[in-house]
Amino acid sequence: MERKFWLLAVLILLTANVFATNKKIANEPDSAYLFAYNANGLRFAWSLDQQNWTPIGNDYTFLKSDYGRWGSEKKMITPFLIQGKNGLWVCIWSLNDRTLQFATSSSMDLISWSPQNYPYVNKGKNVLRPIIAYNRNLDEYTVTYVDGNGKYFQTKTNDLIRYSSVKEVAASAYRNGSTSVNLSDTGNGQVHRLPWKVILGLKKAHELKDYKYKQDRETTKDDAQRFAGLKNVEAKITFQPDKAKAISNMLTGVFFEDLNYAADGGLYAELIQNRDFEYHPRDKEYNDKSWNSSYAWTVKGDRATMKIDSVSPIHPNNPHYAVLDIPVAGASILNSGFDGIALKKGETYDFSLSAKLLDTKRMNLEVRLVSDKQGILAKSNLNITSNNWRTAALALVSSADVADAKLEIVMGNSGHIAIDMVSLFPKNTFKGRKNGLRADLAQTIGDIHPRFVRFPGGCLAHGDGIANIYKWKNSIGPLAARKPDRNLWGYHQTMGLGYYEYFQFCEDIGAVPVPVIAAGVPCQNSATGGGGQQGGIPMSEMGQYIQDIVDLIEYANGGVKTEWGKKRAEAGHPKPFNLKYIGIGNEDQITEVFAERFTMIYKALKKTHPEITVIGTAGPFFEGTDYEAGWQIASNLNVPIIDEHYYQSPGWFINNQNFYDSYDRSKSKVYLGEYAASLPGGNRTNMETSLAEALYLLSLERNGDVVSMASYAPLIAKEGHTQWDPDLIYFNNTEVKPTIGYFVQQLYGQNAGQEYIPSTMELSSNQENVKKRMACSMVKDAKTGDLIVKLVNLLPVSVNTSLDFNQQQLGKNTIKTVLAGKPDDKKAVPVIANISTEATRQLELPAYSFTVLRFKAR
């Protein structure tokens, strides 16, 4: 991947004296000493005399360990650095005192490091203080480690990937050679003598990082100082229709993940929590004792009890059910929903349950909606008469608006009864679908006019450990036959909102479905499987895994006579869902394990379904090892699109608007699958972050020939259950609360174009900081012929624009939409006005604003 031009410019500036001119500074040394040491990662210090040492960046790490769960276990212990084959630097380190694994990574320049490997060994108690040596004559590396019992072991490798079987060796084989230097708190490390230009390269790498770090930290809080004395700015914008280019017609979409109670308790309209009695303590890693099969249920009545059983369940995938022991008629069970059940006066609610009698001939049930304050809001009766599992249903109409009702099922007889799949849905789901979605939330998402919907994640797609990888087949078919699972975000997935419902939702809002399937590896931060590291589906199971992906294409697109197409038709959708895209992998760590499995899946899909566009993955950041290695795989395999993710500060988005300008157009296209601007602390999303996103989206439009798709992430979050902040839309049981960032997405979604018309901008100020905060883009909507101009002003002063349309034909009327406010506003909404096109030629853009002009076609 080519570096961005501006970054290159900065680098050249910073290194001007040395690299750019290739001139030596007078009295510059030929070589110096480098001390490699550990402080939460690999750090360096340099010295000319081995007496006086200078750290390169006081707290700057050149390599960090990627092993283990989110942050907490990612430790680099006793790193050991050598120079091996052909000058390759190899670093080896210990991971913890439990695992029979060590870590290695390599680099040619000590700046850019290879993907990390975590080879397993089979001897010793653990792997402590591993060291590595290279024998040039044998072209062989030897790894020696000591274990907790004080025994020494050795293994050999030629390629740092495949290792010989481990042998126990004498203590004398362990020749560490580490030393300490005269530098405070650094402990032991390795000293190497290097050409001075290598040390300079390290210093410059740190300086560049530092420079970028300062840019990233830029916020509007410093605007008064940054723009002191700045008066209103004049901007002359000239459009260049002769330079128009085609851009993606899929540019903005949405990213849906079941995180923050986005599905169960959120978009999925089911009102009963734990309807299937399948909640399990492992959903919360056994940290919450109340989180079990009875969660959200209570029993009321004389000696009445509820037990959980699993003998002869309704379906093997749904093994638990409740057994009610009712000694005296009139006892009841209650479900408190997800933070209560919200009801609307006059609305109908569809109740159903599955039940079987255990020792009585009949059980009369009175089903009620009740509120602590308002008593019974609705009730109706049904009879259970079978001692086999049967489903019964009825409808209830609420007599009042209530935010925190409960469902109560009153037993009209004594005896034992088993119940499962207790469900309550509003009749008024989105588009009236059965097993459907919450209408207000779904509508809010639909109003963005997303071109596509990505689902089911995010990390949820690749799961916490191999067993937790999301399996689409578990999410279709009758609800009782779906296989619930632990949600890696610390709760429970019923799978009620499954692949069928996702496809249906896409169709209902006119969006293209973009399912993301794990690349045969779980989340790199997994707690289970692979000793805290990624691991991968065993090769012997990859054939079936790939077949499952092929079956998904048949489920979505196959004829009704095909095995999987038939299932879709049985679910109520004989017509195909028109699946065109599949993402393989989600910001995975790009290891050998990943590469092998991704390549297998990619090649198989290319062969069996060349009509499907596969989206690859380039790790969780906009730079670094996974980004580079992910791109390398994509380039080698000619993967059509690659998924990039980055969550950054507003300063980053402002200063990186040319990120894609230099992307090679002949390589893979980009899907910016997850991004968001956020501020540290409480006010993570506001006008400032939203305008930074609007500004950056202009740069995506400008690069719409290489950036095919983009989706802000995450999409929705339930108040009180938010694991990830910020999000685009917050909600509770009764309200939907779009953020300002939501309106930015909506303005893009509703004003998309397929042709980009470049422009030049002359500003009355020459300040770089001013130029970066004012941007414009024009697109043409091919369907309507409308021309759309988007203008972002992230300055503290207004900008007077004069627009030169360069003889483009415009209609008389224009819709002007303005989103403006103070940087820390959290509540602004767009203001829409119909104005004459003439009035747009001279326009004042308010300070901190996003303006969209839609010129109706003539």
Catalytic residues: 587
In the complex, minimum distance from the CB of residue 542 to ligand AHR, in angstroms, rounded to a whole number: 23
Stretch that binds ligand AHR, among 19-27, 109-117, 453-461, 539-547 (CB under 6 A): 453-461
Residue 395-434 contact track with ligand AHR, rule CB under 6 A, x = bound: ----------------------------------------
Report which DSSP code applies to 292: S
CA distance 840 to 833: 12
In whole angstroms, the minimum distance from the beta carbon of 279 to ligand AHR comes to 22
- 263 interacts with ligand AHR by CB under 6 A: no
**Residue whose C-beta lies closest to ligand AHR:** 458
**Please, is 184 exposed, middle or buried when counting C-beta atoms within 10 Å of its C-beta (0-12, 13-18, 19+)?**
exposed
- Give the residue with the Cβ less far from ligand AHR, 11 or 263: 263
Minimum CB distance to ligand AHR smaller for 265 or for 714: 714
The whole-angstrom separation of Cα 835 and Cα 190 is 70
Closest CA to 553 of 607, 617, 630: 607
Scanning residues 610 to 629, which ones bind ligand AHR (CB under 6 A)?
A: 620
Candidate segments 54-62, 281-289, 332-340, 457-465, binder of ligand AHR by CB under 6 A? 457-465
- Return the residue of 350, 408, 674, 688 that touches ligand AHR, per CB under 6 A: 674
From candidates 265, 340, 458, 513, binder to ligand AHR by CB under 6 A: 458
Please select the residue that binds ligand AHR; options are 103, 322, 713, 779, rule is CB under 6 A. 713
What is the torsion angle, in degrees rounded to the nearest 10, for the CA atoms of residue 586, residue 266, residue 282 and residue 465? -10
Of 496 and 583, nearer to ligand AHR (C-beta) is 583
Minimum separation from the CB atom of position 457 to ligand AHR (A):
5
Q: Compute how many residues bind ligand AHR; rule: CB under 6 A.
A: 12
Shortest distance, CB of residue 597 to ligand AHR, whole angstroms?
A: 18
For helices 499-508 and 439-446, the axis angle rounded to 10 degrees is 60
DSSP H/E element including 515 = strand 512-517
Q: How far is the CB of 619 from ligand AHR (least distance, A)?
A: 10
Alpha carbons 705 and 401: distance in angstroms, whole number: 50
Q: According to the 3-state scheme, what is the secondary structure of 386-414? A: CCCCEEEEEEEECCCCEEEEEEEEEECCC
Q: Smaller CB distance to ligand AHR: residue 104 or 260?
A: 260
Task: Tell whether residue 457 is a contact of ligand AHR (CB under 6 A).
Answer: yes
Among 147, 223, 257, 644, binds ligand AHR (CB under 6 A): 257
Q: Which is nearer to ligand AHR, 357 or 461 (CB)?
A: 461
User: CA 403, 407, 409 angle in degrees (round to 5)?
Assistant: 165
CB-nearer residue toward ligand AHR: 141 or 646: 646
Nearer residue to ligand AHR within complex by CB, 462 or 772 = 462
DSSP assignment of 31-83 = EEEEEEEESSSEEEEEESSSSS-EESSTT--SB----SSTTTT---EEEEEEE
* Residue range at the interface with ligand AHR (CB under 6 A); choices 35-43, 134-142, 455-463, 492-500: 455-463
| Beta strands 452-455; 348-357: pairing state | unpaired
Minimum gap (Å) between residue 586 Cβ and ligand AHR: 5
Where does this chain touch ligand AHR (CB under 6 A) — which range of 238-246, 456-464, 687-695, 828-836? 456-464
Binding to ligand AHR by residue 459, rule CB under 6 A? yes
Q: Helix, strand or coil for residue 332?
A: strand
Closest CA to 425 of 505, 351, 347: 351
Which residues are within 8 A (CB) of 320 and not within 5 positions of it... i.e. 6 or more apart?
A: 276, 277, 278, 293, 308, 309, 310, 313, 420
At position 808, the amino acid (one-letter code) is Q
In the complex, minimum distance from the CB of residue 711 to ligand AHR, in angstroms, rounded to a whole number: 10
Binding map of ligand AHR across residues 583-612, x = CB under 6 A, - = no contact: ---xx-------------------------
Q: Which is nearer to ligand AHR, 33 or 470 (CB)?
A: 470
User: What is the nearest approach in angstroms of ligand AHR to the Cβ of residue 513?
Assistant: 18
Are the CB atoms for 118 and 133 separated by under 8 Å?
no
- Return d(Cα 32, Cα 50) in angstroms, integer: 9
Q: How far is the CB of 458 from ligand AHR (least distance, A)?
A: 3
Phi, psi of 792 (to 5 degrees): -115, 130
In the numeric block, which tokens belong to residue 575?
């017509």
CA distance 798 to 810: 26
Judged by the rule CB under 6 A, the positions of this chain that interact with ligand AHR are 257, 259, 457-459, 586-587, 620, 674, 713-714, 724
